[in-house]
Homo-oligomer: A and B are copies of this chain.
Amino acid sequence: MELTYSERVKNIDPRPLKDMFAYGVDPEIISFACGNPDSSMFPHHELASIAADVLDKKPVQSLQYGKTNGYGPFIETLRARLRDVQKITCAADELLVTTGAQQAMEMISKILVNDGDVVLVEEPSFIGSLNAFRSYGAKLVGIPLEDDGMNVDYLENYLKHNREKISFIYTIPTSSNPMGTTMSEEKRRAFYDVIKRYRVPVLEDDAYGELCFDGVHPTTLKNMDTEHLVIYIGTFSKILAPGLRIGYVCADADFIDTLSMAKQTADLQTALLPQLLCDGYLKTFDIKAHIRRLQACNKEKCDMMLDCIERYFPKDIYYTRPRGGLFVWCDLKRDIDTNEIIKDCLKEKVAFVPGYAFMTDLSVPRSTMRLNFTAVSKELMPVGMERLGKVIEARSK
């Protein structure tokens, strides 16, 4: 086909995602590469009963065109839940339902990023978000991520000495993807203090906030947000099921209004049945009990992975000890390029995501890797980790 692609296409480096998908093709591969939650935990019988009920009794609400910002009763349920769980108070016109949190990244980039604008991101950060920002021509600037969250001094120093237009700062404060680290309460306050002084908008991606193993939801930046600087993004992908593609944005009404215009050109509205399933589940079943079961299941698997790292990996590596979420991050140090390691791993039928994929500069070799601990079964986890350990050991000599 004789097409001329737009500049946007050239802004995206397809390698990281192509690689990740390639790892999933062979069913014999034990994959720590994906971001999948544990599918054995999906409350699918409950969702089946809700689906049958709403399709039988509410054909218009579940199948006709609906409102762009989301299904009205679901918006109300979301509001009540935000107040209760995330301690965020918002009006109905301050919420918009998205087709997964990924769509929030896409649409927010579309309406906020002009070619060449700076987007500040934690380094490393989530590849799907980075690619959305890149696709609209953002210049990504990385702020080092530490065990207790973003380096706030580095951020302040950057803001002090740079005068380029900054679209926003993107952060995953709790159980970050890929590192699994959580910003301390002290840092949250210091961070908010800085963005308040420099008046920089913040995208708070709280995909994992409800999945801290101890059941404590850290204070959201949105909750602290007296200055209307925070755009909060939530999702049901990790606490219910990602295939539903239900996320949401909570922000000022005028911003939501502009976002709604982007949503109309993006997909008119999010599919209704998944919205009604989330709404029905929240109204009919005990999601708090479900999330407690998830926390326990995830903690058990995370502990198992950390044990495997101690047992099978070289002793002098760095790795994170997550308080929640789905990921452990390892730095093998030495002169190891994990882009080389992965090739041997695929031969041994085990996979992870090489660290380069989560960086602002994709061209530099990295000795880091992201390991997902929720997707693989408890039976296969030690098998996969032992294989991985052997490849690393062979490469470390």
Binding site for B on A (CB under 8 A): 1-9, 12, 14, 17, 21, 34-37, 39, 42, 44-45, 47-49, 51-53, 55-56, 59-60, 62-68, 98-100, 102-103, 105-106, 110-114, 128, 131-132, 135-136, 165, 167, 199, 201, 228-229, 231, 241-245, 251-252, 254-255, 258, 261-262, 264-274, 277
CB–CB B241/A269 < 8 A: no
* Chain B min CB distance to A190 (Å): 21
**Bound form: Cα–Cα A198–B324 in Å:** 58
Residue of B nearest to A246 (CB): B271
CB–CB B111/A258 < 8 A: no
CB–CB A6/B112 < 8 A: yes
CB–CB B102/A266 < 8 A: yes
- Whether A47 contacts B35 in the complex (CB less than 8 A), given A99-B99, A201-B3, A255-B3, comes out as no
**Bound form: Cα–Cα A17–B269 in Å:** 13
- Whether A136 contacts B65 in the complex (CB less than 8 A), given A56-B44, A271-B271, A273-B243, comes out as no
CB–CB A44/B55 < 8 A: yes
| Chain B hits for A254, CB < 8 A | 1
Q: Which 4 A-B pairs have the closest CB atoms?
A: A48-B55, A63-B241, A44-B59, A51-B51
CB–CB B102/A265 < 8 A: yes
Interface hub of A9, A66, A128, A241 (most chain B Cβ within 10 A): A241
CB–CB B63/A265 < 8 A: no
Interface hub of A34, A110, A231, A245 (most chain B Cβ within 10 A): A245
CB–CB A243/B8 < 8 A: no
Contact for A128 among B8, B128, B264, CB less than 8 A: B264
- Whether A35 contacts B5 in the complex (CB less than 8 A), given A51-B273, A52-B48, A274-B271, comes out as no
Residue of B nearest to A247 (CB): B267
Taking chain A's interface residues, is the majority helix, strand, or loop, or is none over half, making it mixed? helix
Residue of B nearest to A102 (CB): B268
Contact for A114 among B6, B135, B262, CB less than 8 A: B6
**Bound form: Cα–Cα A94–B242 in Å:** 25
Contact for A5 among B7, B8, B111, B252, CB less than 8 A: B111
CB–CB A270/B245 < 8 A: yes
| Chain B hits for A128, CB < 8 A | 264-265, 268
Task: Contacts A244-B273, A271-B274 known; list 20 others, CB within 8 Å.
Answer: A2-B201, A3-B201, A4-B112, A5-B258, A6-B111, A8-B110, A8-B111, A9-B262, A36-B65, A51-B51, A65-B242, A102-B267, A106-B265, A106-B266, A106-B267, A128-B268, A245-B268, A245-B269, A271-B273, A273-B273
Residue of B nearest to A130 (CB): B265
Residue of B nearest to A133 (CB): B265
**Bound form: Cα–Cα A37–B59 in Å:** 13
- Whether A14 contacts B261 in the complex (CB less than 8 A), given A48-B52, A242-B65, comes out as yes
| Chain B hits for A105, CB < 8 A | 265
| Chain B hits for A53, CB < 8 A | 48
CB–CB A132/B265 < 8 A: yes
| Chain B hits for A165, CB < 8 A | 4
* Chain B min CB distance to A26 (Å): 14
Residue of B nearest to A114 (CB): B6
**Bound form: Cα–Cα A26–B135 in Å:** 40
| Chain B hits for A110, CB < 8 A | 6, 8, 135
CB–CB B63/A99 < 8 A: no
CB–CB B131/A64 < 8 A: no
Residue of B nearest to A200 (CB): B2
CB–CB B56/A45 < 8 A: yes
Interface hub of A65, A261, A270 (most chain B Cβ within 10 A): A65
* Chain B min CB distance to A25 (Å): 10
